Every structure is written in C-alpha cells, then in structure tokens.
Structure 1
C-alpha cells in the first residue's frame, strides 16, 4: 500500500536542492488534501489505512467521524477519543457561562446560508424556517453553522434564511430587508438581535453595483439602529482572526520553489507584517478542533480540525447574542473592546476571548 506522502512525491517533481522544512510543509498540506479527497468527509473505519506518515498534529487538523477507529498500532500514537473529548467543549469560557445558567433563553438569532437539513434531532426544536425552498443537497455547511450556534446558545431560537447563490447579491439584500421588516412586528421579545453570515455580506469576489452597495449600507444601518447586529466576514475581519501564525506557517499553500528565493523572502516579510498587525489588533477565535452536526435524522457528528471563517463567524455571533442578554444594545465594536479587556493569551501572545470574564464585568 502506498502512503499518502509517496503519492504526493510521485505527483510533484520536486527539485533536488530544496529547503527540507518547506518541502515537508508543502507535502503535509497536500497530504491533508489528499486524505480528505480520498476518504471524503466522514471517514470512520481507518484500520486498513496507512497512517504511518501522518503526524499527530496533522491528524488533529483533519476531518473525521466522531466514532472513527484506528488499528492497534496507530491507536498507540494517535488518541482519537482525546481529540473528541476536547472537541465536545465550547471553550472561550462558554461552558463556565452555561454552568452559571446563561443559555440564551428568550434570544433570537438569524442565519443566512445555503440549504439546511431541518430534520436533525440535535437542533430541530430551536429552528424557525423563513424559506420554503429547503435544499435536498447533502451539504454540511448550514448544519454545522446552526449546530455551532445551538451549542453556544442552546436555548436561543435560530431563524434560518436560505440564500440563493445564483443571485447572491440581490438575495442577501432582500434577506436583510426581510429580517428588518420581521423585527418591526415586535417591540422587544421575539426580535432577531444578531444575524450571522458566514461569508461576505455581498459575497466576496462578486461585483456589486453602486445601488446595491447603497442598499446594503442603508439596511445595515437600519438594522443596527434597531438593535440588530450583522456579522459577516467583512465585519469579522476588522476585529477577529481565525488561526495563529503557527497554523499559517505549517500549512502554507505557497509552492515556494516555483517563484524563487527573493519572492519567497518578500512573501515571508509581508506575511510577518500581516501576522504582527493581526496579533496587535485582533482577537483569536479559532473554529477548528470542534464537533459539528451533519445532516440526518440521527445525532451524528464529525470532528473538523481545520480553522475556517465559516465556523468562527457563528461562534462570535453566538457570543454577541449571549452578551446581548445582559447588554441588549452592545455593538460589535463594543463587544470587541470588552473582549480585549477580559481576554486570555495564547503561547504566541494572541488575545483570545473569555466569555465568562466578559459576562462578569
């Protein structure tokens, strides 16, 4: 049986003179992609697979079923259940907040995303659907996002709006306008107070016209004046980061030898400047190393090791929701400032949120 690293080395004609560390970093990154391509989303029985080339750190960044099993030899080195038990915890001081009785009761949050499989028993009772065209696709994206919110604010109601990706700019504007009109039906109780959009508000990479930009600015202003926070990737990036520098360095997508040493040096310097700026101005909210519900009628989870905006945005949106149960009109800027005052620090001096401290301020 060929190992995944053998497959990668066969595919790429690596030069003889190349920095070993950079080569290993690239091979590890491609190895991760190859594993997930071959084994797909929720691989479970890994006893017949060759894991000898996969480090414990790399394995922790993969995606696998919560009931996955390894052979006896690999089980001595890779402890899946330890990863699973850590992944069950919310972190960020949220579990301590739950112990104090803060669960988001009476709060309402909206999600705008791709199709949701609403029959999941995990959060079925907490969903209010606002769209009729429920997707039949087996995507885990929306389910994972809703599951994130449900874990952090288990007693909150989640309003789901399915986004039309064929006409995404216009559709999201209409969804925001619809949420604003919905909120006008309520004075206090029942109002949606946070909106989570796990991508750009008008979708990154798609051209918007000036009228659409003005509509976006207008509706966001109306929503926020009415006490509803809109959290998209544009807003998220102003205040938060999803991964530490170590993750970025270990899993860089850049094939260094294709561009030459000068380009690599320049890229490294630019990267360091970005990292330093992010460390100084942002709060770390990693979304990897967590369990996420997947579509289906049974309570079934996958472990997702990779950090991603898709998971970190609803984490922060849910935190803002919990804070609004104490400070109803707190803005994203004010949430960030409070989080900065009450933060903990990682080994690399990144600030990280502690919701338990924030709530006690």
Structure 2
C-alpha cells in the first residue's frame, strides 16, 4: 500500500458494508437528552445504524459477522506480480486464497510483498527463504522492546483506550477479554471489516498489542455517506458524536479506570464536513483528561521493516513503503508501521499479515504507548509524553557504510523508564 492506509483503505474499505439493517436504534440513559436528540434527528438512512448500550450498563450491542474475502473453492491460477513503481494497493493480495496449484519457485520477490492470512492455502513447496509462518510470528511482535516492558508488568492495565473505527469482530482472541464495550454510531458495516480488528489488536492485542492489558472501549462509526453517484462524502459530525459519547462513557467509569486516550485512524482535513465539530469534541475530551490521537495529530511517521528481520532491533527498520521514494525532513518521531501481523476479521483465531501498513497502523501504536505511560504515571500529559518520546528516542541509521541518518525512532523502554522517574 503506497499511500496512507487511512486515505486509501479508509476511503475504499472503511466506509463499505452499507447493507440494509433491520436492527433498530436503542436508547441509553448515559446519553444526555441533547446528544440523544442529535443522534435521533440525524440518523436519516437505514443503511447506517446507531446502537447504544441500554440501562446504564456498557455492553456489546452487536456481534458483526466474520468477513469472507474469496470463495475458498476457487484456486488461484496465477500469482500477481509486485511492481515497486506502482502506487496501487493490494498488488499481491493472497488473503484467504488457495495457491495449491501454483508453482511459486522463483517468485520470492513477489511473495515478500504479499498480504496473506490464516486461511491462505500454500503449495507444498515454497521458495527457499520464504516461510509464511515465520513471517507471521515475527510480525506479531510490536517491537522495540515492548515485550520486555510487558514482562515487567507495564501492560496498560487499568487504563482505558477508546477506538473509533470500522465494524469489529468482537470475539477475536486478541482483544475479547480487554473489550469492555462495543457500540455503533452511524455505522454502515454489516459485518466485521479488516480495519477495526487491525487497529484494536495493535493497541491492546494480547500477543500483537502495545498495551495488552488496557481496557478497550470501541465505537464502530462511518465518517460520512455515499451520495447518489456512489461517491463518498465525509461528514465528521458523526466522529464528533462518537467522541462525545466516549466522554459520557468515561464519566461513568471509576476514577482509577478512566479512558485516557482515543485512537482514530483517520487524517482530519479542514475541507472535510464536520471538521469544526470534531475539534470542538477533541477539545472537550482534552478537558476531561482524554487525549485524542489521529493521523496528523502530532509529528510522527511510520516505518518499514523487512518481514524477516527482528522487530526489536532498530537496524531492521527503513522508510515506510508508501514514502520510501520521498525525502524526509527528519522532524518527526518514527513509529513501526509495515510488516505487521494483526487480528483478522475472518475468524476469532485468525491472523493476517500486511506487508505494507499505513499511518492507520501508527495511531493505535501511539495510543498504546500513551496508555503505558498513563499506567506508570497517571497524571502524565500529552505534552510531557511527546517531549520525552523525542528526548529518549534513538537515531536510526539507514546505511551503515555512509552512516546516513533517517531520523529519530521511538524507544519505548527508555521512554517508559524515564517517565517512571518523574516525581
């Protein structure tokens, strides 16, 4: 994927699933009279549904069905070729495909740029050096020493993370136990989508997540509608309503288990409808001690990684795939992004490997880091967090012979250890 995942996938996949739903809207006593009125009067299409917890008890309001990418009985007749000069997404998309009839010898360069999942059927013989199981296991590691922190008990425990994204496969093993609430506001997704399980597992996944014991509060929401011409029109007023809902939910939580960060894997531009309303809601959340992370909220950029290299070793990282041919101004904090193995929407025990990520994958990573910081220092602020994140970062060298400096890469271990020392 050559562009921001939030722009390519969110525009083509995040807003899909607009099938008619017979589910009716419910009312929650936790919604104020004013906000309830806004939700009811604004819901104009049966294609989008709003479902909220009832009786002042947070709940899983619906369980979207699993995703099915392809007919499993159809075998692939040819392996797609990867073109490094192309900006197209999903060039070698092997998710849930049957490759058993293919001769893949000599195709290792294409396979190293493949997206695949637990349901991909491989031929008996694969090129030397390509092992999908090894690649998936390496991709599950959130990297940069985070598992070292987890072993010390720094896991985000008793810290709440809220995510606003696509329809979620709520029972996935990566985050089922962490999920405290699943609601929908103006959601057009009938079934689970690829994006939601990905961001949820990066944030709080048991094996792939940055903060594996943080509490997860999830709202599935579609950031607009499709017009009569089939074109998607952004309307971020729904995102604003979702943020407002999170603020209301947070007021019901115990003082020691508050939501401290909201993750929204979306680039928010001034020309998007509802831009003003979103930032008014973000400001309200800040006043309640909730930090909102989105694409462009701070100075950070996503990194690439060779799929067979160790995610804990900073020398494994490179420029992200979507910006590998661009110049870098060295002013942003670098965050792991590509070659991630995350929860798949195809089954509660399924995983999917994305060779190229996108900035959508960096947002829940940052949110997870902030949750770890909140665990060790509950009164941490975003400004202090980011200042220390830059101060404790390491310089990433991309060429050992020329000592070319790419930029500052986050060092989670140094960051959290430094925050622990603050009185």
CA–CA distance in structure 2, aligned partners of residues 297 and 68 of structure 1: 13
Tell me the alpha carbon deviations over residues 206-235 of structure 1, each in whole angstroms, 9 at most, x when there is no partner: 6336xx51x433332232232211001120
Matching of residue 352 in structure 1 with residue 409 in structure 2: yes
- Distance between the aligned counterparts of 1:50 and 1:205, measured in 2? 50
Give yes or no for the alignment of 1:26 onto 2:91. no
2:391 is aligned to 341
Work out which of the residue numbers 28, 36, 46 in structure 1 matches 2:99.
Answer: 46
Q: Aligned equivalents of 1:103 and 1:77: distance in 2?
A: 34
For 1:247, the equivalent position in structure 2 comes to: 321
State the shift of 1:55 in Å: 4.0
Q: Quick one: which of 197, 214, 222 aligns to 1:143?
A: 197
Q: Following superposition of structure 1 onto structure 2, how do residues 60-79 of structure 1 map, counting pairs within 5 Å? A: 60-66=112-118, 68=120, 70-71=122-123, 74-79=126-131
Would you say 1:191 and 2:258 are equivalent positions?
yes
Q: Distance in 2 between matches of 1:249 and 1:319?
A: 24
Cα deviation, residue 130, structure 1: 4.7
Unaligned runs of 5+ in 2: 1-76, 226-234, 305-317, 399-404, 419-423
Return closer, same or farther for 1:246/1:303 CA change in 2, 3 Å cut-off: closer
Report the CA distance shift for 1:92/1:331 in structure 2 as closer, same or farther (over 3 A). Answer: farther
Distance 2:192 2:182 in 1: 20
Residue of structure 2 in register with 1:233 after alignment: 295
TM-score by length of 2: 0.64
1: CA distance between counterparts of 2:254 and 2:181? Answer: 21
Gap change, CA 1:342 and 1:60, over 3 Å in 2:
farther
Distance 1:231 1:336 in 2: 12
Classify 1:130/1:300 alpha carbon distance in 2 versus 1 (closer, same or farther; 3 Å): closer
Structure 1 portions without partners, runs of 5+ = 9-23, 253-270
Q: Judge conservation of contact 2:202–2:342 (CA < 8 Å) in 1.
A: yes
Note closer, same or farther for the CA distance 1:91–1:170 as it changes in structure 2 (3 Å cut): same
Change in 2 beyond 3 A, CA 1:66/1:288: farther
List aligned pairs for 1:105-184, cutoff 5 A. Answer: 105-131=157-183, 135-150=189-204, 151-166=209-224, 168-184=235-251
Q: 1:224 to 1:80 in 2, by over 3 A?
A: same
Which residue is 2:135 aligned to? 83
Counterpart of 1:218 in 2: which secondary structure?
Answer: helix
Deviation of the 1:110 alpha carbon: 0.3
2:380 partner SS: coil
Partner secondary structure for residue 164 of structure 2: strand
Aligned mates of 2:199, 2:144 — CA distance in 1: 17
The structure with more helix, counted as a fraction of residues = 1
Q: CA RMSD in A?
A: 2.9
Question: Residue 205 and residue 102 in structure 1: after superposition, are their counterparts in 2 closer, same or farther (change >3 A)?
Answer: same
Q: CA deviation at 1:138?
A: 4.0
Change (3 A) 1:55 1:132: closer
Q: Secondary structure at the match of 1:145?
A: helix
Which structure shows the bigger proportion of residues in strand conformation? 2
Number of residue pairs aligned between Structure 1 and Structure 2: 307
Q: Is the 8 A contact 1:199 1:233 kept in 2?
A: yes
Secondary structure at 1:26's aligned position in 2? coil
TM-score, length-scaled by structure 1: 0.74
Query: How big is the shift at 1:61?
Result: 3.2
Task: Provide the C-alpha distance between the structure 2 equivalents of 1:219 and 1:246, rounded to a whole number of angstroms.
Answer: 31
SS at match of 2:352: strand
Query: Which structure's relative contact order is higher, taking Cα pairs within 8 Å and 6+ residues apart?
Result: 1
- Give the Cα–Cα distance (whole angstroms) in 2 for the partners of residues 69 and 130 of structure 1: 32
Q: Please say if residues 170 and 182 of structure 2, whose CA atoms lie closer than 8 Å, have aligned partners that are also in contact.
A: no
Shift of 1:70: 4.4
